[in-house]
Amino acid sequence: MFIKPGKYTHFRGNEYEVTDMATHSETHEEMVIYRALHDNGGMWVSPAAMWNEVVDHNGRHVKRFTHEDEIAPKQSVGIHNNSSPSEKIELFLSLFAGREDVFAKRWESNDRNGYSPVCNNFWKLPCPKRKKEKIKCGECPHKEFVKYCAKEVEKHLKGDLNIGVYPMFPDETCRFLVFDFDGKNDYDPDELRGDVTLIREVCSEMGISMAVERSRSGMGIHFWIFFTDNIPASTARKFGSSIITYAMSKYHKLTFKTYDRLIPMQDTFHKGVAGFGNLIALPLQKQPREKGNSVFVDENFNAYPDQWSYLYGTKKYTSAEIEAFVRQQTLTSNFVKSTLTTVYLPLAVSVQGSMKCFLI
């Protein structure tokens, strides 16, 4: 049996390179010698008969490995790696939309780092910070914020700036929702991957499309869900909470310790407080991207080779779709509560003091 040397794609997406053939010394079985082209690589052998197998995948019969010559070249459509910078920036702004009147940039000083609003008067007279006065930037009488626009996004993508955007608009709406899975200093990478994989499976089961980003540090994961128009932050957060609740009820033995928060973090601004709400660091900044971080990854946590093509094909949800989903989840939740009450309450009444046991 002859297996053609060259690059192959596994039916689950990973790529490998066949380098040679060999014969097993004891069984005389033909073997394929190949190396992995992802993660840390490594040399492997596989029975040639297995290499050419046809397997069942998502209801379709596909080859286990497909040679690059057998893959028809895809026509480039939409936005992709070879698109113009202006097209990429336009796509970026359509997805990662936040307040346009102000944005933040990352700063580092000695062992400290953080984000601050970008202001033309920052640390220049008459900036109160020069006088060591404690005043919030939103309350400063001398504020002159720089707008979040295409020019600043270009700096971010080129590595001249590291942007954080404020997702909640002044009217308390948003254009995306983010699930933040945070890898703490003592985190277990397998635990993080396990939690993320389960959420991904739940979303797939529920028919929800989301983009998964490895964070700039490489220790966390962000799930992004995008909207076609501005929707109330409270509605977006109900939508996100219902996903997490469903996932935790389905996998009740898991703690989801790596799950941190939803962004936006609040439904509404605190009345009488001058602020912009929380911010989130934007993806695809050059420096972390060159290290394989701040990029979007597949179910095997491998970065998509064409980030722009992937983002172009990412679904955006309308406000009507989100509201319908929230209503459906509310009905489902109420049905479950009603069923529990119907089934367990008589038992709890008949056995004094045992209600807590039945309801756990």
Residue whose C-alpha is closest to residue 293's, from 219, 222, 215: 215
DSSP for 314-349, written as a single string:
--EE-HHHHHHHHHHHHHHHHHHHHHHHHHHHHHHH
Q: Please give the pLDDT value at position 254.
A: 66
pLDDT tens by residue, 29-60 = 999 999 999 877 789 999 998 988 888 876 67
**219 with 259: CB under 8 angstroms?**
no
pLDDT tens by residue, 262-315 = 999 999 987 655 578 899 999 999 999 999 999 999 988 999 999 999 999 999
Residue with tokens 């346009």: 100
Tokens coding 216: 């700039």
Per-residue pLDDT of the chain (360 residues; tens, 9 = 90+): 778 889 999 988 889 999 999 999 999 899 999 999 987 778 999 999 898 888 887 667 788 899 887 775 555 568 999 999 999 999 999 999 999 999 999 998 888 889 999 999 877 878 887 777 777 887 788 889 999 999 999 999 999 999 999 999 999 999 999 999 986 656 678 888 888 888 888 888 888 999 999 999 898 999 999 999 999 999 999 999 999 888 888 887 667 788 889 999 999 987 655 578 899 999 999 999 999 999 999 988 999 999 999 999 999 999 999 998 888 877 765 544 444 444 433 333 333 333 332 222
User: Which residues is 224 bridged to in the sheet?
Assistant: 178, 211
Q: Please give the pLDDT value at position 311.
A: 96
**13 with 302: CB under 8 angstroms?**
yes
The Cβ of residue 25 has, within 10 Å, a number of other Cβ atoms equal to 7
Location of each CATH 2.30.30.320 domain in the chain: 6-70
Model confidence pTM above 0.85: no
Say if strands 316-317 and 221-232 run parallel, antiparallel, or are unpaired: parallel
Q: How far is CA 340 from CA 327, 349, 353, 356, 359, in A?
A: 20, 14, 17, 12, 8
Question: What would the CATH number be for the domain defined by 85-103+147-317?
Answer: 3.90.920
Q: How far is CA 230 from CA 175, 224, 235, in A?
A: 5, 15, 11
Q: Please give the pLDDT value at position 33.
A: 94
Name the 3-class secondary structure at 262: strand
Q: Please give the pLDDT value at position 183.
A: 65
Residue type, 216: R
Residues ≥6 apart with Cβ < 8 Å to 52: 1, 3, 63, 64, 65
Question: What would the CATH number be for the domain defined by 6-70?
Answer: 2.30.30.320
Location of each CATH 3.90.920 domain in the chain: 85-103+147-317
Q: Please give the pLDDT value at position 332.
A: 62
Q: Please give the pLDDT value at position 52.
A: 81
Q: Please give the pLDDT value at position 184.
A: 66
Q: In this structure, what is the dihedral angle of CA atoms 110, 116, 120, 124, given to the nearest 10 degrees?
A: -50
